């Protein structure tokens, strides 16, 4: 008896991708966005098939992601932002609600909604994850969106 293995590929040609970006800590979010856009372009997603929606901060990301996902105009939604413990007194609550909200949107819409929101202890960690030694989490979230769209299509 042979097992069926289903995986996604990394070909973004023809995909329509929405990106939701929180402006709070914009010096980090902008680097994450640049990484995501670079990833999408390098994997074949055309600029005309990308939409960037900017929101005030990380807390507003899930509701904007929901609106975009439920519009059915996009194959995936990439969520990008940055929450730094030292920058907000309600760090735990914001991080928990953003993560829960993004997961909820993905489940409700049945669409890949990927998490490129940094939740760091300090600015140094954020810089590391936005293009320095730790890679770029915006790139990672964009790449995951391409793979997940392909996987979903291969499951049909």
Q: Which residues are catalytic?
A: 90
What percent of the chain is helix, strand and coil (3-state, nearest 5)?
A: 50, 20, 30
Judging by DSSP bridges, how do beta strands 113-120 and 50-55 pair with one another?
Answer: unpaired
Task: State the DSSP H helix or E strand holding residue 92, giving kind and residue range, or none if neither.
Answer: helix 91-109
- Using the 8-state DSSP alphabet, how is residue 130 labeled? B
Distance (Å, whole) CA 134 – CA 144: 17
């Amino acid at each position: 008896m042979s097992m069926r293995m289903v995986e996604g590929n990394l070909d973004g040609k023809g995909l329509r991708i929405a990106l939701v970006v929180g402006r709070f800590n914009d010096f980090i979010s902008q680097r994450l966005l640049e990484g995501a856009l670079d990833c999408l372009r390098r994997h074949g997603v055309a600029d005309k098939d990308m939409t960037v929606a900017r929101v005030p901060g990380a807390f507003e990301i899930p509701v904007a992601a929901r609106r975009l996902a439920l519009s059915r105009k996009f194959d995936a939604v990439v969520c990008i932002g940055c929450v730094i413990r030292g920058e907000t007194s309600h760090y735990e609550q914001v991080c928990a609600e953003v993560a829960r909200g993004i997961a909820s949107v993905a489940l409700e819409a049945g669409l890949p909604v990927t998490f490129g929101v940094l939740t760091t202890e300090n600015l140094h960690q954020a810089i590391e994850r936005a293009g320095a030694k730790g890679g770029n989490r915006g790139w990672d979230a964009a790449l995951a969106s391409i793979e997940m769209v392909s996987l979903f299509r291969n499951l049909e």
